[in-house]
Amino acid sequence: MRKTHLRTTHLSLILGLLLLAVTGCSSGADSSPTEKIDAGPVALRRLTAEQFSRSIRDVLGDHITVPSRIDPDDRRDGLLAVGATFASVTPSGFEKYEAAANVVTEQALDTKHRADLVQCQPASATTSDEECATAFIGRVGRRLFRRSLTGEELDARVAIASAAAKALGDFYGGLEIALASLLVSPDFLFRIEEAEPDRRDPSITRLTSVAMASRLSYLLWNTTPDDDLIAAGEHGDLVDDALLAEQVERLLSSPKLETGIRSIFSDLYDFKRFDDGLVRKDTALFPVYTQTLVEEAKEQTLRTIVAHLSADKDYRDLFTTTESFLTRRLGVAYRVPVPTPDGWEPYVFSDEARRAGLLSHISFNALYSHPGRSSATLRGKFVREVLLCQDIPTPPANVDFSIVEDITGELRTARERLEAHVTNDACAGCHTLTDPIGLALESFDAIGMLREEENGVPIDTSGDLDGTAYEDATGMGRALRDHPALGPCLVRSLYRYAAGRNEIGGELALLSSLSERFAESAYSVRELMRELVLSDGFRTTSGPRMAEEAGDES
């Protein structure tokens, strides 16, 4: 029922858009995509575990070890960034946040670091000092809440700091309490994106300048805004076209952009599963496998992406590039010599290594495999869904698997087993989409090591990607690189990541226009980010999300 309602809404938005197009309202086709669009709703965004940790360390000090045992992130529609606009805080989750806050405040204000952090000297270290406490809480609170504290918020925290300082006979003990109250507050744990009527055109609802500061910072740096950005937000600069553009240039040229890029691709590729220890392999079948190996494999891929995109190279070439980074441990798994004994070195794979493009990395092949065997289907599904944004339906519940039962033991390779699917109509619909891609990657086993044969039979990696034939994984990477859906799919994913939700009908024209511009910029991801954050899709909204939408996204 709800679904029908939503569809109707989409339809009317699309109709509205068509009307606009007919009446020629898209006036500013000059510098940035300024088509009038109907952007979707905003919702509270719970900090992801990574944002929680980064924000704390940014504000309170890099020496802090932030507990990783907090409420797990919610992944929806393939992104933690989308799940974050649905996640709440369970009782056990809050218990963990409070425990984490206590651990963090103790480290932040330990005797070694308190002077640097507090920046004022209390009259006495054994009792309260309201002036110093007020200065500290006000300054740190502003970074954590991403806005200045209200008088009430500040007073309440100075009061508990004073009471605790007196009770404990410790000024810094009092500050710990006030700091803990900031860290467990919903104003820290959730990013609140407030909107207001645009003064130039009150029919448009825009994000407030203060809300824009957080939105920009978490998208581009994946952490809390710095003092400059908060000041710009509070000064109203971020709802001014020119001043916004200035800040965006600053954010895009900061070294912190690398963190932002890393986080985007980690989320998109579901790399958190490496951190959660969920990429496990059978150690008897894969003696090379260790948790450290797969974590380094993840790091290798992220380093490759960051280096490539920071140099403003063509996004599509990520799927053909032989440039990467290796450690000696990874070198063993790749069977190539790595001279550097400890740490990372830049590495260019030779043709003989047969490692061109991200999809030839250990990370993907290990992630999209089972503990004991590779999976052409999982790998193919990943490429279709995540890289090309094509939907693969879930298998029917009553599917007859007896067709792929290998009673005689004659089906020895993945291709032979999977080709059995394709002879069955119920299976063929999906497996003809996923399997040819995955079979090209069958030369990589369940931990991504090269192999020539499976169960004594040579592996055939040839296939076809939507009309482009290839012989092996390298050829498949080239076909993927040239696939027309590759660029627009990244645009869609990045938009969802930025907005914290799936696109709605009123935003489709914007996505098309962003995709065109992405192509015109020779697929510069930095350019795409700039276009995106300056667009009305990022700056405006229909208002707060209504409760009916919750839980009805599929």
Partner 1 sequence: MGLPLLDCFLNSNGTALAQGAPLPVRFGAWMWGCGMNPDRWNPTTEGGGYELSVELQALDRELGTGAKLREQVSILSDFDVKLDGRPNFPHTAGLMGTLTGSLPVADYTVPAPTLDTIIAAEIGGLTRFRSLEMSCTGNPNQSYSFESQGVANAPEISPMAMYARVFGPEFADPNAGPFTPDPRLMIRQSVLSVVKDDRDRLLQRVGTHDKQRLEQYFTSVRQLEQQLDILLEGPPDLESCSKAPTPGQETLGTEVGESMSTNLLMADLLSFALACDQTRVFSMMFSDRISGLRQPGSSSQHHQLTHDEPLDPEIGYQPEATEFVFASMEAWADFVERLAATPEGDGTLLDNCLVLGHSDVSLAKVHGITGVPMMIAGSAGGALKPGVHVRGATSPTTRVGLTIQQAMGLNTESWGTRSMEATQPVSEIVA
Q: How far is the CB of 233 from partner 1 (least distance, A)?
A: 16
Is 16 near partner 1 (CB under 8 A)? Answer: no
| Torsion angle, alpha carbons of 302, 307, 309, 314, to 10 | -110
The label of the residue with tokens 């007073």 reads: 155
What are 261-266's contacts with CB under 8 Å, separation 24+?
261/305, 261/306, 261/309, 261/310, 261/525, 262/222, 262/302, 262/305, 262/306, 263/50, 263/222, 264/494, 264/497, 265/302, 265/305, 266/50, 266/302
Is 249 near partner 1 (CB under 8 A)? Answer: no
Is 115 near partner 1 (CB under 8 A)? Answer: no
Tell me the window of 71-79, 212-220, 255-263, 323-331 that interacts with partner 1 (CB under 8 A): 71-79
- Selected binder of partner 1 within 5, 373, 451, 457 (CB under 8 A): 373
Is 59 near partner 1 (CB under 8 A)? Answer: no
Q: How far is the CB of 357 from partner 1 (least distance, A)?
A: 26
Is 7 near partner 1 (CB under 8 A)? Answer: no
* SS3 at position 253: coil
Residue 146 vs 530, nearer CB to partner 1: 146
| Torsion angle, alpha carbons of 505, 506, 509, 510, to 10 | -120
Q: How far is the CB of 452 from partner 1 (least distance, A)?
A: 18
Q: How far is the CB of 293 from partner 1 (least distance, A)?
A: 16
Is 550 near partner 1 (CB under 8 A)? Answer: yes
Is 73 near partner 1 (CB under 8 A)? Answer: yes
Tell me the window of 173-181, 241-249, 303-311, 434-442 that interacts with partner 1 (CB under 8 A): 173-181
**What is the residue type of 43?**
A
Determine the Cα angle at 79 with ends 482 and 188, to 5°.
140
Is 403 near partner 1 (CB under 8 A)? Answer: no
What is the number of other CB atoms lying within 10 angstroms of the CB of residue 112?
A: 10
- Joined together, the tokens standing for residue 330 give 């990874």
Interaxial angle between packed helices 257-268 and 49-60, expressed in degrees from 0 to 180 and rounded to the nearest 10 = 160
Partnered with residue 458 across adjacent β-strands are: 453
- Joined together, the tokens standing for residue 548 give 């009916």
Is 549 near partner 1 (CB under 8 A)? Answer: yes
Of residues 311 through 350, those in contact with partner 1 by CB under 8 A are none
Helix (H) or strand (E) holding 334: helix 328-334
Q: How far is the CB of 248 from partner 1 (least distance, A)?
A: 26
Residue 59 and residue 148: Cα distance in Å, rounded?
A: 14
Helix (H) or strand (E) holding 18: helix 2-22
- Selected binder of partner 1 within 378, 389, 404, 508 (CB under 8 A): 404
Residue 134 vs 181, nearer CB to partner 1: 181
Is 160 near partner 1 (CB under 8 A)? Answer: yes
Single out the residue of 108, 99, 243 nearest to residue 184, CA to CA. Answer: 99
Partnered with residue 454 across adjacent β-strands are: 457
Is 543 near partner 1 (CB under 8 A)? Answer: yes
Is 169 near partner 1 (CB under 8 A)? Answer: no
Of residues 275 through 294, those in contact with partner 1 by CB under 8 A are 276-278, 280, 282-285
Residue 42 vs 318, nearer CB to partner 1: 42
Tell me the window of 136-144, 161-169, 204-212, 260-268 that interacts with partner 1 (CB under 8 A): 161-169
Is 184 near partner 1 (CB under 8 A)? Answer: yes
Is 63 near partner 1 (CB under 8 A)? Answer: no
Is 454 near partner 1 (CB under 8 A)? Answer: no
Q: How far is the CB of 164 from partner 1 (least distance, A)?
A: 5
Q: How far is the CB of 88 from partner 1 (least distance, A)?
A: 4
Of residues 139 through 158, those in contact with partner 1 by CB under 8 A are 152-153, 156-157
- Selected binder of partner 1 within 29, 123, 163, 457 (CB under 8 A): 163
Q: How far is the CB of 168 from partner 1 (least distance, A)?
A: 8
- HEC profile of 368-388: CECCCCECHHHHHHHHHHHHC
The label of the residue with tokens 């289907």 reads: 377
What is the number of other CB atoms lying within 10 angstroms of the CB of residue 292?
A: 10
Residue 227 vs 553, nearer CB to partner 1: 553
Residue 192 and residue 72: Cα distance in Å, rounded?
A: 20
Of residues 188 through 247, those in contact with partner 1 by CB under 8 A are 189-190, 192, 194
Residue 206 vs 308, nearer CB to partner 1: 206
